[in-house]
Every structure is written in structure tokens, then in C-alpha cells.
Structure 1
Amino acid sequence: MPLGEFELIDRYFKRPARRAALGVGDDCALLRVKPGMSLAISSDMLVEGRHFLSTVRPERLGHKALAVNLSDLAACGARPLAFTLALSLPSADPDFLADFATGLFRLADEHDCELIGGDTTAGPLNICITVFGEVPVGAALLRSGALPGDDLYVSGQPGHARIALEVFRGTLQADGEVFETARMAMEMPTPRVELGLALRGIATSAVDVSDGLIGDLGHILESSAVGATLDVDALPESALLTQLPPSLRRQFALAGGDDYELLFTARRGDRQAVVDAAWAAQTPVTRIGVIQASEGLRLVDGRGCPERDIYARFDHFKT
């Protein structure tokens, strides 16, 4: 017998409330917030064919659906609390739902983030999550705090997800091990929550890299009314990227999209503090540039010569 909407929720997504005063099953969730704390809220939607391929494993899809939202909390320096799930499904397939819920809740439990409500409906596969986090009043990392002279950093390894995308598109070839590593980056990104928490009081601004490093850096520059010089030769390079021609390595790292790394700025005098924060979060970070008073982004190589190639940010309505 086909699953009904409420049976679907009860079987795969209903859990006892922990932090919430009232969770799944009522008209509204009730979330307790501590005195002196701000509530950080973010929503992201994943649409089949736009954000993920139909061939992705449901368990990985459940992971990614929550990971991209936790990445936004990380960029704010917020600790995850809870999330809601709105799910449009072509059919209530028990196998898909069981695996999707497994990936979703594995990551949720890792970050002590509980599902507190949402909605389900029949329709094209579409996942929308709203995530809630807490951060001490005045301690949130914002896009607007970068100052001239600040160092510019990026976490992890931007560019891997783009390798997988181009393999799927048929424009690039990669062997099994390289492809699987890149595919994991694309389908199961690691939200840098611990790094965001460790950067409180150190980073002067931050943003998560979802639409390409250059595009998301533009948010910091615009919000902070500053410019930057970025050394393309300082970008982190992995064994995967070094197999590509230099032009593709830079294209993927600067404008690849789907990275979910943190891009942030910090005072020059806080370099050791950044190193300590990265070590505490067990997340590599790389210094790739400097913030300047004159607006605009300048790309240079390791010798300071202007980079001639142009890299466009990802845009959902132009790509």
C-alpha cells in the first residue's frame, strides 16, 4: 500500500524532541534560545537537475541537503541547533526515503542538529532545508567586516567538485580513484562548522564558497566596501588539480562552485591565531591574498603580474 504523507513523516523523519520545546508533528515547532544568544537562520533549496544529478545516491543526497545549509551557519560562526525539511517527491519510495534519511540524520547527529518540522508533497524532486543556529550577540561573522590590510584566506581545497561535474558533462576524463574523490567532494561536501566557531573573534569577515571563490569573494568586497588582490599561484593545489592544465586548475579553483569552503579575512597580526584556529578545527587554510582600500578585485600571479584570464562566477539563471 502506498505511503501517505503523515505515515511517511512518522516512519522516516519523526524523532523525539531534544533541544526543541516542541518538534515534528504540530503546526509549529518551538525552539528554546538561550539569553545573550542570537538565532542564525538560513535556507537553501536543492533542485534535481540543477543542484544534483538523478544518479546521486539518496544517502549522499540527504547528506548534501543538510551540509549546504550547515555551511551557511559555519560562515556566520554559528553553532547548529535545528532544521526544518520541505520535501517534494515524485513518489514515496521507501528505499529512497530510508537511504535519504540515513545520510541526512548521520550528518545532523554529527553536529547535534535536530529536525523539528517541515512539509512533504508530491511533485518533482526538490529539497528545501531551513537551518537554525546560535551565536553570542555581537560575535557573528559577517560579510561586512573586512578592512584594508587584512589577509584573505580560504579553507580546504576549492575546485574538486568542478572536476566531477565536468566528468559527468563529458568534457573531462578522470580515472576511477580521481573521479571518486572528486565525486565525494561534489556529493558529500564537509561543512566547516568547527572552523567557523574557531574563527569567532579572529576573522573580520567570512562567506561560504558555494557559487565559486571569485563570486563569493565579491560579496565580502561589496559588503565591506573594499577591494582585494588575489594571488592565483597561492591557491591550494591537490594531486587531483595538478593533473589538469594550469588554466583549468585556476578556473576550477576560482569559479568552480559547489565547494562549501570558508573564505574569510583576518588582521595581519592574527596570522598565528588563524593557524591555531585551523589546527583546532582540523581544517587546512591557505592565505591567498590581501584586502585593499581601492575597490575591485585584482588577480595576480606569484610575481605580482596581472592575471589575464577572466573567471566568471556561477549564476543559476545564466549557467
Structure 2
Amino acid sequence: MSAGEFELIRRLTRAVPCRRPDVVLGPGDDAAVLRPPPGMDLVQTIDTCLEGVHFPAGLDPADLGWRALAVNLSDLAAMGAEPAWGLLSLALPEADERWLDGFARGVAALASEAGLDLVGGDMVRGPLAVSFALTGFVPAGAALRRSGARAGDEIWVTGPLGGGAGGLAAWQRGDRARARAFLRPEPCLVAGRGLRGLASAAIDVSDGLLQDLGHVLEASGAGAVLELERLPVHPAAVGADPVAMALGGGDDYQLCFTMPPEKRDALLAAAADWTGAPVCIGRVRAEPGIELRRDGEPVPLPPAGWDHFRGAGP
């Protein structure tokens, strides 16, 4: 006899136990009771991952657990927040205990690394879908935003781009070794916290650099010039045009941020603690729009990144 809903929930919560002292009451009641620390703003985000839209059918459940949590943690990173609590809504086509145990291992591994407690959630029968709602903390008034970029600011990324799209292509070819950037993205939580007080604006690169930078520029009322020879391209971005993959592929979960040039030394000092090295790829200008250049010469813009209601570009 297969496990029922409540036994599946118990299996999941046993695999991802609560350890944080600010969790007054975790899973098992009608709702969680949580105690925010004084002097902190709460930062909240929610994302849903659908099979066949955000991840391919047949993905290993442990990889899916890691990936679904990572894409949400990346939103907290882009705000400069420290992860605290998570809620999970999971739709499963059938009660598969082995699948759930694998999924829970992936979630638990990243949650432990990020300092996140899973404090509750829900499970239903339906097409495979994973939805995390996360809460993090940031000192009052210190959250990073999209709207602060100003003409003259430098544009930076925290690491190489194109690995998400290249990793998905590798997975589709059966090359799991090159697929890691897609399967197990690393949210830039340390970098996000390090950018408090340095970055004038920030966003995570989930839908492609051009599209996500475009959101920053729109919110800031500005434009940009990008120098393609500076663009860090991930080794997994292979094919006819790796640079186009880095510009528009998406699923990279690096941070793109803007910063006044006079803060460069402070940035490089802070980045000593980061996993990767930040790279300056251009500058903000007053004139709207994004201009691409290579060695000083204009380059045509490739298609934009992902949009749920338009597909992979206009």
C-alpha cells in the first residue's frame, strides 16, 4: 500500500528538520510560528517550477529539489538578504516514496548550506510542480533594489554566464558532468550580502542577462553599454554562439549589479570571500536602451531572454 499525503509530508519534514532558534513552532500545526529578529526587514519571495516549463521531465529528484530551492534563494541573494524560513507546496502525480526521499535529499543539502529551515507547506496530487515561498532578513533599509542605477555607474556580474543554458543542452545530450550548472546552480548569497552598501542596483540573472539588466535599467530610468570582450562565458556554454548563450540563455543565477566606480576597491576587498570573481562588463548611461560593443564597435542585439507568455524571445 502506498503512503498517504500525511505520511509523505512527515517523510519530507523529517528529512529537512528545523534547527533555527527563531522558529517557535515548525511543521505539524495549522501554521508556523516565527520570531523575526529586531532591527531587520523581512524579504519574501515565491517561485513555482513546473515540469516541462522550468525543468525537463525525467530530472533526478535530488537535482530537482536542489534546483527548485536554489532559484528561490537566488531572489533573496539579489536583495542582499540572509535566508531564514521556507514554505513548500508540492504537487505529485502519484505517492512515490522513493522519489520524495531523493527530492528531500536535494532540498536538505542546499537548505543546510544556506541556513534555511523548512517550516511548513502542502502536498497535493497533480502534475509535477514545486513552489517555494521563502523569507529572509536584511538590516532595516539595506535591501538591494533594481531602481538605483545611475549614469556613470559600472555594470558587474558575479561570475560566468551561459552555464545554465549550456548545462541544459548537455543534460539533453546525456552529458551530466557538463550539466551541473543547470542541475545544481549555486545562489550567490554571500555576494548578495557583501553588496549591501556597495551596489546601487542588483538583480539575479534568471531570464538572461539582457532581459534582467533591462529590468534594472527600466526601474532606474537609464540605459547601458556592454563590452562583449569583457563578458565572462561559462565553459558549459558551447555551440555556435556561446556569447549569445551568455547574453540570453538564462538560468545562470549570478548577480548583475551596478556600482559607482569609486567603490571598486571596496568591492574587490569584499569579493575575497566570494566563490567566484566579479567582472565589470560595461557602464550605465543616461540614454535609454542597451548597446553592445566589441572592441569599441557596435554589435547587433540578439533576441531577449525567457518570458512565460512570449516564449524564448519576441
- Name the TM-score class by shorter chain: over 0.9
Q: Normalized against structure 1, the TM-score is what?
A: 0.92
Q: Secondary structure at the match of 1:52?
A: coil
1:23 is aligned to 26
Matches within 5 A, 1:143-162: 143-162=146-165
Distance 1:154 1:180 in 2: 26
Distance 1:275 1:111 in 2: 23
Q: Is the 8 A contact 1:195 1:283 kept in 2?
A: no
Q: What's the RMSD between the two structures over aligned residues? A: 1.6
> Could you tell me which amino acid in structure 1 is paired with residue 210 of structure 2?
I
Distance 2:85 2:18 in 1: 13
Shift in Å, 1:132:
0.5
Q: Which moved more, 1:268-277 or 1:219-228?
A: 268-277
4+ long deviations beyond 6 Å: none
Q: Secondary structure at the match of 1:132?
A: strand
Matches within 5 A, 1:78-93: 78-93=81-96
Q: C-alpha offsets along residues 121-164 of structure 1, whole Å, 9 cap, x if unaligned?
A: 00010000001100001111100111111100012211012123
Q: Which moved more, 1:56-65 or 1:230-239?
A: 230-239
> Could you tell me which amino acid in structure 1 is paired with residue 302 of structure 2?
I
Counterpart among 43, 64, 68 of residue 40 in structure 1? 43
Q: Normalized against structure 2, the TM-score is what?
A: 0.94
How many positions carry a matched residue from both structures?
308
Q: Is the 8 A contact 1:161 1:182 kept in 2?
A: no
Q: C-alpha offsets along residues 94-140 of structure 1, whole Å, 9 cap, x if unaligned?
A: 11111100110111011110000111000010000001100001111
1:9 is aligned to 9
Q: Is the aligned partner of 1:70 residue 2:73?
A: yes
1:307 is aligned to 299
Q: Secondary structure at the match of 1:134?
A: strand
Distance 1:151 1:301 in 2: 17
Matches within 5 A, 1:1-319: 1-14=1-14, 15-16=17-18, 18=20, 19-167=22-170, 179-241=175-237, 244-245=239-240, 248-302=241-295, 304-319=296-311
Q: Is the 8 A contact 1:23 1:29 kept in 2?
A: yes
Q: Is the 8 A contact 1:17 1:116 kept in 2?
A: no
Distance 2:209 2:90 in 1: 29
Q: C-alpha offsets along residues 224-255 of structure 1, whole Å, 9 cap, x if unaligned?
A: 111110111210134444x544xx11210000
> Could you tell me which amino acid in structure 2 is paired with residue 188 of structure 1?
R
Distance 1:103 1:84 in 2: 16
Q: Which moved more, 1:37-46 or 1:279-288?
A: 279-288
Distance 1:163 1:71 in 2: 19
Q: Which runs of 5+ in 1 are unaligned?
A: none
Distance 2:260 2:167 in 1: 35
Distance 1:79 1:40 in 2: 9
Shift in Å, 1:283:
2.1
Q: Is the 8 A contact 1:189 1:260 kept in 2?
A: yes
Shift in Å, 1:309:
4.3
Distance 2:178 2:285 in 1: 34
